[in-house]
Structure 1
Amino acid sequence: MTRHLQHENFLEKQRQILLELGNDITRVREKNDLITLFSKRIKGLFYFTHTMITLIDVLDDTYKPFLLDHESSPIRTHPDYALLVNARFSLDEPFIKSVLETDYPVIFELEDEMAHPQSPVFLRANYDMGVKQVLMMKLMNADKPIGFIHIYSDRTDSFTQDFKDIIRRISSQLSSAVSNIIKNEDIRKKEEEKSFLLDFSNDMTSVRTKEDLAVVVRTTLRKLTPEGGYVIRKINEDDLTMSAYVYDPGTARGNPSLLKEVLSAKFPINDGLQNRVLDSYIPLLFSVSREAERGIKSKYLDLWQDMGFKTMVGIALRNGNVNIGLLWLSIDEINIPILQGICAQIAVAMNNIMANEELLRKQQEQSFLLDFSNDIAGVMAKADLETAVFKVLDRLLNTKLAMLRLIDDDGQHLSPYMFDKSLFEGLVSDFDKLSEQKITTDEHYTALVLKSSGALVLNVEEQMQTAHKQYAALWGKTGFKNMYAAVLKVGDQILGTIWMLADHLSMPLFKGICAQISTAVSNIKASEKISAYRKRLEDENDYLKEQIRTIYNFSEMIGSGKQMQQVYRLISLVAESNSTVMICGETGTGKELVARAVHNASLRKDKLMIKLNCAAMPANLIESELFGHERGAFTGAVERRIGKFELANNSTLFLDEIGEMPMEAQVKLLRVLQEREMERVGGKTTIKLDVRVIAATNRDLEEEVRAGRFRSDLFYRLNVFPIKLPPLRDRIEDIDALTEFFLSKYAKTTGRKVTRISPKVMQQLRSYLWPGNVRELEHVMERSVLLANDHTVREIYLPDDSIGSVQLSELPGNRSLEEVERTYIIEVLKRCSGKISGTGGAAEILGIPGNTLHSKIKKLQIHKADYFSN
């Protein structure tokens, strides 16, 4: 009865304690309050040495100390106590798994646990300090474990069933208390973070320069990590490297030369560390030694090790979604919200500072370029340009013009145009010879800058290590660090290349200077061409006027015979129209002269007639000659070219030797004639045309059409108004006038006083068949004038094998030999004006004695009426 009463009293006392404990727990807000309250209340019922509560971190499956009873703990004097308080322990250990698997308290004998190699180290520390048992139970919140309560004893009889029941019954209240504490700590932590960031924001409002930013950031980060250092790096203009912007090494002391080297260096973004930070939207914590072991070779990693930094956090600095740099901070633990808040404001300030710096730089550059533009505006000579360029480079400080080369007319070579002689003076003995050399567009560095189509910078030291050492070694002797190169161009036209040596030069400023120089060079070249054209025009003016008055004047065409009168009539009929004209005739009959006569008698006479000899152009170039081409349309097309059709717009285009035109070009020519429009080779713009076409040929185009060598549709399009020129052998009546004309012409041009032609020579000229027609006659007269010994041409020089030749194809093939012989003799007598014997007579031409010819005339019944015109 007494025992039962005692038990009832105990239970009542237990209920009272639990009630009081529950009420007290609900009022707990601080960690220390909870552990103190728990120890005092429970120790009033049971014996134990100390308690501890640990929390689970679900992110890495670990648990760590949260509430510690420092005053009662027997292990506070253990050498590893400080490490254990901050340590994390794995949830995968068999020891802790057994606690997670049950909803009741679990008791462990430490002596037994010491035999298990996976037992947590804090059990070993307690065992070393005399602890024999531990009671553990998981704490739950919303059906999920949030931590554990640990109760230790240096006895083996402390944890009775009653003890276990109380712990089980108050575990839910402990869980709630722990959850409330965590929430309160989070709230307080966030309030502290807000206050911290607000203070930082207030400090940042006064930041205007990079120096201001360095002071504010150093002050703020020292509050987070008093001894740590930091560096802010910005992404460079190349978008490939990063450089130090502001920094503070903290209290660490390392190698000064290494620190200076790292702070002045450019580090590639993709180095295995920086790219990982820039790709992350949260701060990343790195172990310096682990990254070194992983093979990261960046020099700044060596600096961190030298300065004793163990862990570094990297945070990307972003303006919107654009990376502008990153922050490296030496710190052991990271507070993500605070670091993100700090970096957000640093990024804004840094972006504003850089924007202001860029704006100021651009203003200075614009002012600089405006002054240079004023200096260069009136430059029209190379010497003036050289003065202006050297003046502007003197203002840039430590910038020299290494070389300016211009592309030659062949598009394949570049010649020196301008350079600073003082730059290489005394450095290279044969520099004058070297500077005068032409180079090709395939030369390594020239090809490099031409391919860039803009500007590039080459590090001299790096280039000296390459296989292209000739120029790099020369640059190295000057002592400058970088070579700046650019293409000189105006619009789409590339003029040449320019090379400048400097340690540092703003690329936009360099490009601006090059643009101004390009314009000046283009103006100078244009001025030089205009001067050359003016001189050429002055020299040719009188000659051209004379040619227009004589050779190309319709009224000055030589010949009054019946066949030429028919040609004149046709010219008069067609001249004022826009009809296409086809001029046919043997070589040397004067087809171009007739074409010019048609043009000069037309309404287009004020425009120059454009000529193209289709036989003189390679098949692969005739299309470009006719229609022009765009730059880059094919290999060698280094600039746009205007074709003959465009040049002849609103004028006349004379296509000589049209029968020689390739079939591919015939197709395009037909389209132009039909549509009156064309496109340049490689172009996409349709060009409307108003061109009158005059074609000429010495071929039988109808036969060419039948043979498949000339398109029939093009033939019909060209053969609108045919004019057939007679061969000279069919216009014997014009030989005297032509001979007199050429005699006068070449006597005047050669300065010979030859005024007459002997009757013997005239007879020979009339008797000759002239296979080369008027052109042959002209050349014969030119030679005869040069060889004449006095005022009279007494000898004529004709090919012996051509005298008396006859075109047998013109004789009917179905006649007898006697009829053919009779016709042939009559033809020769006609050409000899009836003369039978003597020089220039028919017997001489036929190669038979005069008596024999008389006999044949009598035998064949040839009468004077047969060879004399009535």
Structure 2
Amino acid sequence: MLLDLGNDITKVRDKNDLIVLFSDRIKSLMHFTHTIVTLIDRKDETYKPFLLDHRASAIKDHPEYDDMVKACFPLDEPFIQSVLAAGGPVDFFLADIVDAPQSPAFLRVNFEKGIRHVLMTTLRTGNQPIGFIHIYTDQEGGFSQEFKDIVQRITPQLSSAVSNIIKNEEILQKENEKSFLLDFSNDMTAVRSREDLAVVVKKALRKLNPEGGYVIRKINEDGVTMSAYLYDTGASAFDPALLERVLSEKYPINDGLQNRILDSYIPLLFNVGRELLRGYNLSYLDLWENMGFKTMVGIALRNGNANIGLLWLSIDEINIPILQGICSQIAIAMGNIMANEDILRRQAEQQLMLTFSNDITGVKSKSDLDHVVSNVLQGLFQTRIAVMYLLAEDQVTLRPYLFDRQFFQETEVAEHEEFYALNINEQHIKLVFESNQPILMDIDENLEAKCLKLSIQREQRGINTVYASALRLGEQNLGMVWMLGQQISGPLLQGICAQISTAVSNVLAHEQILRLKKELEDENDYLKQQLNNDFEEIVGGGEAMQQVYRLISLVAEINSTVLLLGETGTGKELIAKAVHNASSRKEKLMIKVNCAAMPASLIESELFGHERGAFTGAVERRIGKFELANNSTLFLDEVGEMPLETQVKLLRVLQEKEMERVGGKTTIKLNVRIIAATNRDLEAEVKAGRFRSDLYYRLNVFPIKLPPLRDRREDIESLAGFFLSKFSKSIGKKTVKLSANALRQLQAYLWPGNVRELEHLIERSVILATGPMITEFFLPHATRATTDDPMRPSDLPLEEVERMHIIQVLRRCGGKISGIGGAADILGIPGNTLHSKMRKLGISKADYYAH
């Protein structure tokens, strides 16, 4: 039997077949349940299962069976030491030893499954123990001496067989390692990019540990931190937020773990829980604990003698040759990939800079500048200008010009312009202007507040530093730019800022040209509009007009505000021109605004101008009439029609001598003389709440009341002659004259429309005239004063109103009562009736000749 067993053992190839063969042969001699072989690991001073008879095992259904076959047991405990000390097989009664101190757990498990005895003997190669044979039985009698002798005799053969199996496994392991590394090497030959490398590494490491994960970190350009390069979470569950934070974080090389790996030429094994207990406050340890990784292997990645990164791998046992072979090729591939990436990056940078140089030359506006600069900064550094400041005219204040609209609205910056302004005397501003290179600054609370709330962007992007660079044109400082970023190249940024400076100078010059051009066009258009209107000299030399002339001469040379009062058509605009032309401002154009000719929603923009985007339809900046009239005269016609909300702003301009455009925040100083005109009774408007009293008192500095035409009959003839000559020439006729009868008609008419009505009547009559003389006018039968005359009393008794009206008509008719052009003809009543009314009302010649 022993000879047959020896022959069969020599044919065994699978190690577990050996124990099955052994059990089957021996069971013909003695009853037992199952047998196993354990091997000694001298490195750890432990022994662990090696050959198992799973088919016959009495404990295979025990809950702890799977743990038992993977466990390692210490060699220094009393039970196994007694086996080593024995010269041959030793029989143990489990009931006697199962509860002994340091008794191995597999004895208790076997005892719980009904095993009563175990026969143990040591396997040796030469004099060196290599393992143990365990034979178990469920019989109370134990093992006979004859059986022990047989086991003693076959132990050398089993020792040789086990030794051969170990050697064959070592050979097979080395062959598998070579095959593994050869396959890995073949796969690596096709790697050209980081994505290719990720696929190959994942495939290889999954073979070593199918459930585990890994991360490859590379050393950053700063030489003191490391960042994730490739990773795989394996089959582990994890917190996505924690994973994202760990992957995006930069870790110092000298964190207590990574520096140890980079200094070692062999892989190092770390227990995650133990490192946490030792006080390493590292987020990646927290992540690994969260993922359930108990042990991690770290191995340096070297390209030649230079460290380029490291590999962290979740695995329980270290196979040094395989890991070193894998990492060697990973390091070479990473070096090649990063070198290729650097070449491609430099080529892309050169292309971007070339495109930028071409595009920047065509920049004409602020929006063009923003677009071109944003493109190059995003392409090169994955960032934008956080804020660009330009020096104000005082050469001391820096004001925001461009800023990142991901976080800030233009209206917000405009409303808090003074808060966001900088001063060149601030310490960090001096540093920027004094440096010839872009400088890197830490973002503190002061810097956050001044640089457009960089704290918001820092929280969003996880950046604690900001790059600042001066903008210069030659030796002249234009401003500076602030940028957030972690991979900004100083030399590249310096070159970009040099071109930005030139572009900014061009944009500012272009904006100035456009602004001046717009102002010139506005003034030119207004001048053309004024020149298109025929200038009319003031006609009339009667006593009423002489009083007006005297007032004009008194006020013209000073800059006092003038308020022109009078009915519609009395020539208020002509008087305003006369005041302006007689003043020291006559060299500049008088600007006119008709406050009644435009909607209330537009009058504010007309007066004060507006900024682009101030309201719907405001597609460009517009200069208002106040700015056009600076150092000149502004004529506000029909000022009584101005809306109350506009009156408030007008009052502020009159008081403060300054204004702001609609939608603007810049205060504009003014030197404007105001001449206002109205046909309304402003005092009555103030009482009615339709006109502000404070504005009225501001305007009513020097009032001039223009007489209606019905109160200046002596000027009708000269006015008619002026209009006859004017319109005769305009239509190509010889000058048309008036007959005496026609002149009497004009003098007898009440003229509710005043001079304007006379002008239009003459123009119409000249056009209709068929001969050289106009003999008769077709006048409206207006027998009473116009209802819109604000100067006429409205609260007198009817009889008194009638008396006053008859006296006024008699005065206009020069006391003539009857006949054509007489008072009775104008009043539309017979002459006798008029005489009766005059007696009844007590009207005498003294009343109508007293004037």
TM-score under structure 1 normalisation?
A: 0.48
